[in-house]
Amino acid sequence: MSLARLATGSLVCLSCTACAGWQSALEAHGTPATGLLHLTWLLFVVGALVWICVMAILVLALRSRAAISTQATATPDTRVERRLNRAVTGAVIATALIVMGLTITSFWVARVLSPESSSPLRIRVRGYQWWWQVTYLDARPDRTFITANEIHVPSGRPIVVELSAADVIHSFWVPNLAGKQDLIPGRDNTLQFTAREPGTYRGQCAEFCGLQHAHMAFLVIVDPPEQFEHWREAQLAPGASPGGTQEQQGQRVFQSKACAACHTVQGTSAAATVGPDLTHVGSRRYIAAGLLETTRGSLAAWIADPQTLKPGTNMPMVPLNAEELNAVSAYLVSLK
């Protein structure tokens, strides 16, 4: 008995440890997420209480039925009848009140999902198989820029994410900040959220979208407002010009081989839009939509054989010799 209890206890503890972290709806750090979490707990607690009451009454009823059947009375007792009537009426009223209360509460929470906010930061997120293109919109076109798989937002300011898809249906989900919203080809959606405090949260495609659906993650990095402005200015700058000879050679290889046919590096002749924008790829934490941490080694491994690391990805294996690969990885990691 005590062994079973120990096992159950440790199982509960283990499953609870999985509930926290940078990708968890149970740890809310933003506007709709907090409301949704409160609603979840409310529904859970009310549901649990109702279940306990029903079970208790069921047990009581079964017990008293056993007691009654031993007496075997033929005529119904009017006092018992009246008591039962009162109990059933009370239960019906309680059910109606609880359902109504929960409906009204969930309506209030749903209002928070799309509030009217003044001067929100508008970000356009486009889902591709299997990465995210992120465009920061601005009234001035020269202050618009494109990045990928990493979204920086200022804390405390409302964010409007315009969602669209290029190929199939994807779903944008950052559990710590907001609920899910689908990206549907030809049907643009929006999602609003406000992050309370600085932090790093992980998001993931939440709609099966093909072979590498599991490797379609992104980061939402919430910065203090002034740090966000600093980041934005850095992203607006063209790609860093290569410093050393190896980086220079890497840039030459990048532009003369197939890399530049799909990728953009602002400030150079590489300006294609099939693959992610690499202007500041070295400053991002992950490459290939959360597949590997950005290091020179992982960049080289990725370029050398993308189809083994992420089978089915649209990045082809570009034939490069060892020297070219070395140079290109040095160049890319220098694009801070």
Residues that bind other proteins (CB under 8 A): 167, 185-186, 256-258, 260-262, 274, 305, 307-308, 311-312, 314, 316-319
Q: In the sheet that 170-173 helps form, which strands lie side by side, from edge to edge?
A: 150-154, 217-223, 199-205, 170-173, 181-183
Quickly list DSSP for 156-194: TS-EEEEEEESSS-EEEE-TTT---EEEBTTB-EEEEE-
Helical (H) or strand (E) element with 146: strand 145-148
Q: Smallest distance from the beta carbon of 125 to other proteins, in angstroms? A: 19
Q: Are 298 and 264 in contact (CB under 8 A)?
A: no
Q: Smallest distance from the beta carbon of 265 to other proteins, in angstroms? A: 16
Q: Smallest distance from the beta carbon of 287 to other proteins, in angstroms? A: 18
Residue 163 backbone dihedrals phi, psi, to 5 degrees: -110, 130
Q: Smallest distance from the beta carbon of 308 to other proteins, in angstroms? A: 7
Based on CB atoms, which residue is closest to other proteins, 157 or 257? Answer: 257
Neighbour-count burial for 23-34, b at 16+ CB within 10 Å, e otherwise: bbbebbbbbbbb
Based on CB atoms, which residue is closest to other proteins, 112 or 262? Answer: 262
Q: Smallest distance from the beta carbon of 306 to other proteins, in angstroms? A: 8
Based on CB atoms, which residue is closest to other proteins, 200 or 307? Answer: 307
Integer CA distances (angstroms), 107 to 100, 112, 181, 265, 314, in order = 11, 9, 18, 46, 43
Helical (H) or strand (E) element with 202: strand 199-205
Partners of 159 in the beta sheet?
A: 121, 193
Based on CB atoms, which residue is closest to other proteins, 69 or 269? Answer: 269
> Hey, what are 63's tokens?
């017990």
Based on CB atoms, which residue is closest to other proteins, 137 or 168? Answer: 168
Q: Are 299 and 305 in contact (CB under 8 A)?
A: no
Q: Smallest distance from the beta carbon of 305 to other proteins, in angstroms? A: 7
Q: Smallest distance from the beta carbon of 307 to other proteins, in angstroms? A: 3
Cis before residue 22, ω within 30 degrees of 0?
no
Based on CB atoms, which residue is closest to other proteins, 123 or 216? Answer: 216
Based on CB atoms, which residue is closest to other proteins, 199 or 210? Answer: 210
Q: Are 201 and 163 in contact (CB under 8 A)?
A: no
